[in-house]
């Protein structure tokens, strides 16, 4: 499997990684959720080259994760904003942050805490079943090939999963 062909794979994770699967893109998204919108601010905060930043931002715009919005007319200057599709990546970012807080923090603990605006309390992202509402872990989930893909993915899932 070649990196540039990921978006053609019969796997939602592979297709997603084609859009957000490199370190700079994830850090750009982190900064978007922190309110960063302008090219120069991304460049300064991340220390990434202009070429790489331009490439990643173009990709996120082309996939509809970000959109450009003018903030100055003459000369035209645009900022990058999260689209609805981009906002839907928030649980992914929170999940990665939670993993990092648990497994990558030093003796000082998590560097940033997340406060739920409604209740004012520190919160941690959790995953729940969309039907019954119960909290779930990897051990609570069984995967199956979707009916529309049966016969096309026989080799995709290891026999243990089926």
92-109 pLDDT per residue, tens:
999 999 999 999 999 999
Answer with the one of 58, 88, 118 that is the final residue of a domain: 88
Answer yes or no: do 79 and 94 share one domain: no
Residue with tokens 């739920």: 116
**d(Cα 107, Cα 54) in Å, to the nearest integer?**
36
Q: Please check the confidence at residue 7 and state whether its pLDDT lies above 80.
A: no
**d(Cα 113, Cα 120) in Å, to the nearest integer?**
12
The tens digit of pLDDT for each residue in 24-57 reads 999 999 999 999 999 999 999 999 999 999 999 9
Range of the structural domain that residue 55 is part of: 1-88
């Amino acid at each position: 499997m070649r990196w540039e062909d990921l978006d053609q794979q019969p796997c939602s994770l592979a297709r997603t990684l084609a859009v957000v699967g490199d370190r700079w893109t994830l850090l750009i998204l982190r900064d978007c959720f922190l309110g960063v919108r302008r090219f120069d601010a991304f460049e300064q905060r991340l220390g990434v080259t202009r070429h790489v930043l331009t490439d990643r931002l173009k990709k996120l715009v082309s996939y509809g994760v970000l959109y450009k919005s003018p903030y100055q007319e003459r000369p035209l200057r645009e900022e990058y904003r999260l689209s609805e599709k981009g906002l839907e990546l928030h649980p992914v970012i929170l999940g990665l942050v939670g993993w990092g807080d648990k497994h990558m923090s030093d003796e000082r603990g998590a560097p940033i805490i997340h406060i739920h605006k409604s209740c004012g309390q520190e919160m941690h992202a959790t995953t729940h079943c969309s039907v019954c509402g119960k909290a779930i872990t990897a051990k609570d989930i069984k995967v199956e090939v979707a009916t529309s893909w049966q016969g096309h993915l026989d080799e995709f899932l290891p026999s243990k999963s089926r």
